[in-house]
Amino acid sequence: MSTMITGGTGFLGSYLARHMIREKGESGIILYDMYPNLSRVEEIQDQVHVVQGDVLETHELLATMKKYNVDKVVHLAYIMGGASRTSPVPDEKVLQYLRVQCMGAVNVFETSRIHGVSRLVYASSVAIHGYRADPYDVEEIDEDVLPRPDNFYGACKLWYEHIAAVYQEQHGLDTIGLRPTMTFGLGAGQRGSYASRLMAIPENPSYVVMPELAALGEPIEMPPGDLVTDWMYAADAAEAWYLALTVQNPKHRVFNMRTEQVRLGDVTECLRRVLPGAQITVQEEPVSLFPLMNNDRLRDDLGFRPRYTLESGIIDYVNRVRSQAGLPIIEPS
């Protein structure tokens, strides 16, 4: 039996594949991707099957599932653009965007049903709740709060949850959805939206990719330090995905997904400690932030426990970036 990860050589997919092989001793992993990025999985390339395929093509999906006797699926293929106010979906790309986001997901759900997989885990998002009306609001929301998406990305992710519930109830397809928060790690700023040619890289990249830029010696600008946000390192996110794949008889089917809540000022100070020569300025105007999420269900039902702190996650992230660029790594203090 094997596990197929759509978007498998992307940001989250590559972290999950490495985690499953190196930390869990898994084999039989298929990385299904329209634009495979082999540099992200170079160290495990001989231990995975990379398949170039399109989630819009059901025959390709089903043929891959049959060829590799796929037992479980993680659906991570998506287009990241449209999740922020700085990178909305261009008007001329809306139809293509929705086709990939929505029909691509339906194809994965339907072929999983036809093939008879034992579990399908999919990526929802904190974006189903839209942005905070007040960026300084620190009230947590749990999984029972009514979602109110305010962009195409969040609306599509909420649609995933409803489609999953119908497939679960009417067709017996075992599904679990995870709602990632702001997740940082190597490749966070270079997602499928750019490879797919549907979106342009934002002129003002999110603060979540600033450690990557600082690691390469580029000047960065961080948001005001008193803003609080959810935070998660991609290596911890990989563990959450793995737990969702393997948990037996889960009490719930949708989970908020984060590790800690941090002041952005703490992120800035951590970067200054890890990279003493970093050129960092702090902007005065607050940025748009998603609501803070309660993660009790993730901890209690899936048994999730993070391995990385803010600092250890940033150090690992920075060193992955620097290693890939041929720069000396940073030794923990």
Helix (H) or strand (E) holding 234: helix 234-246
238-291, pLDDT tens digit by residue? 999 999 999 999 999 999 999 999 999 999 999 999 999 999 999 888 888 899
pLDDT confidence bin for 192, thresholds 50/70/90: very low
Cα–Cα dist 59/57, whole Å: 6
Q: Give SS3 for 163.
A: helix
Residue 177 has pLDDT above 90, yes or no: yes
C-alpha distances in Å from residue 196, one per residue of 33, 97, 192, 199, 312: 11, 10, 6, 8, 32
pLDDT at 197: 36
Instruction: Please provide the average confidence, as pLDDT, over all residues in the chain.
Output: 90
127-150, pLDDT tens digit by residue? 999 988 887 788 899 999 999 998
Cα–Cα dist 241/243, whole Å: 5
pLDDT at 88: 66
The model's pTM is 0.92
Residues ≥6 apart with Cβ < 8 Å to 325: 215, 216
Cα–Cα dist 13/21, whole Å: 12
pLDDT at 198: 36
Assigned CATH topology for domain 2-184+233-259+291-310: Rossmann fold (3.40.50)
Annotated domain spans of the chain: 2-184+233-259+291-310
pLDDT confidence bin for 72, thresholds 50/70/90: very high
pLDDT confidence bin for 28, thresholds 50/70/90: very high
- What percent of the chain has a predicted confidence (pLDDT) above 70? 91
